[in-house]
Amino acid sequence: MTEALVGAQVHTPEGIVAGRALLLADGAIRDIVADDAVPDGAHPTRLAGGTLAAGFIDLQVNGGGGVMFNDAPTAATVAAIGRAHLARGTTGFLPTFISGARADMARAIAAVRAAMDEGQAGVLGIHFEGPHINPARRGAHDARRIRPLAEGDIELLASLGAGRTLVTLAPERVAPADIAALAARGVIVAAGHSEAESGTIDVAAARGLTGVTHLFNAMGPLGHRAPGVAGAALTRDSLACGIIADGAHVHWDVLRLAWRAKPPGKLFLVSDAMSPVGAPDVDAVRIGDETARIVGGGLRLADGRLAGSLLDMGQAVRNCVVHAGIPLADALAMAAACPADFVGVGESRGRLAPGLRADLVWLDDELRVRATWVGGTRSNAAEE
């Protein structure tokens, strides 16, 4: 049976349009038609205003629902994280494993593979953030787990099979030939936790590096004589950049600057979420031998370093519009189409268009998530 979602404006690849109905059938988007052109026999579902958009895609999700992927890399953990973020508009995500031992990385791969085999909604693959990063820019990563790339690591990083694998590394610490080898195996390579010079980024990009992880964070500041990773990220149109729009990791003015600098489709939102998202009773996160606590709406270690975020993608979209003055259509694309294209799933999700998966989010007029659909099946939003 065809379902017709009516009553909300619709974010299409051409922009946000009113007076349209979204037709769903067999888990996919059948068509977008005028309200008065809904076919006979379609089952109408009336929405109370707001905006229908493609479900959010989050490529950096450390935790949620009270659990951290690093702490318990199992399919059950992946499912718990997915449920917490689905209730907040995320219909596709990469569970993110930060710098850890090889054996634990292998467990993380097995967990994601099992989750995908079980058909857990929204799991697109895995993101390894480290361990091949620069210790000088480790952020909250456990210093004991940071190490150079060694024999067997490329095979491990490329061993997921189905799904997408994103690896964040420091290009100044990994040989260009190894970056090329990862890219040749289908791994998506991003620069992060790095002090690379812009020229080093260019060399890495020529060998297969295509992205930058959490722009401006865990990298040197943009300098007028030493642009570094940030300068290269802003000026190389080929590089797609993730950014954490919570007001703590990046000032709203700088978020707007990045949006202005990057071509359409090359700046995307990430949450960098930790376990307290979707778990209001959790107020601290253990990272190695350190504890991050909620301070002023963010997670910080004892010395004040940021340690992930309390952000979800719905809040990130709202922040872009309310605090950075980014148009809603652009913010929605930054949360869906842009990350989908970056990891190579844009042909099946990330936009509202006929033939794509019916992965949707419904935002009310205050841009708060009201419901999500995964493969055409509706889930109501979390109660805030």
Mean pLDDT of 234-252: 97
Can you tell me the distance from the alpha carbon of 98 to that of 377, in angstroms, rounded to the nearest whole number? 32
Instruction: Classify 172 as helix, strand or coil.
Output: helix
Can you tell me the distance from the alpha carbon of 46 to that of 91, in angstroms, rounded to the nearest whole number? 21
Question: Residue 310 contacts by C-beta under 8 Å, 6 or more apart in sequence?
Answer: 246, 273, 274, 276, 277, 294, 297, 298, 299
58 part of the active site? no
**Residue 289: how many CB atoms within 10 A of its CB?**
8
**Residue 55: how many CB atoms within 10 A of its CB?**
26
Question: Residue 209 contacts by C-beta under 8 Å, 6 or more apart in sequence?
Answer: 171, 179, 183, 189, 190, 191, 201, 239
Beta strands 209-212 and 240-244, pairing class:
parallel
- Ranges 55-59, 160-164, 285-289: which has the least confidence: 285-289
Tens digit of each residue's pLDDT (9 = 90 or more) over 131-144:
999 999 999 999 99
Write down the pLDDT at residue 289.
86
Surface-to-core class of residue 368, CB atoms within 10 Å of its CB (0-12 exposed, 13-18 middle, 19+ buried): middle
Tens digit of each residue's pLDDT (9 = 90 or more) over 171-199:
999 999 999 999 999 999 999 999 999 99
Write down the pLDDT at residue 296.
82
Mean pLDDT of 220-237: 96
Q: Phi first, then psi: give them for residue 321, nearest 5 degrees.
A: -75, -50
Which letter does DSSP use for residue 123 in this model?
Answer: B
Write down the pLDDT at residue 280.
86
The residue from 272, 312, 341, 359 that is catalytic is 272
Can you tell me the distance from the alpha carbon of 246 to that of 117, in angstroms, rounded to the nearest whole number? 33
Q: Is the peptide bond before 131 cis (omega within 30 degrees of 0)?
A: yes
The mean pLDDT of the chain is: 96
Confidence of residue 47 (pLDDT cuts 50, 70, 90): very high
Write down the pLDDT at residue 297.
79
The region, left, alpha or beta by phi > 0 then psi within -120 to 50, assigned to residue 3 is beta
Confidence of residue 154 (pLDDT cuts 50, 70, 90): very high
For the record, the structure tokens of 262 come out as 């990057």
Please say if the pLDDT value at position 378 is more than 60.
yes
Nearest 5°: the CA angle 292, 309, 138 is: 65
Confidence of residue 77 (pLDDT cuts 50, 70, 90): very high
Mean pLDDT of 233-255: 97
Q: Please give the helix or strand (H or E) that residue 126 lies within, else none.
A: strand 125-129
Please state whether the predicted TM-score (pTM) of the whole model is above 0.95.
yes
For the record, the structure tokens of 167 come out as 């690896």
Query: Residue ranges of the alpha helices (H) in 224-352?
Result: 228-235, 252-261, 313-324, 328-335, 337-342
Cα separations in angstroms, 100 against 74, 226, 261, 283, 313: 15, 31, 34, 23, 26
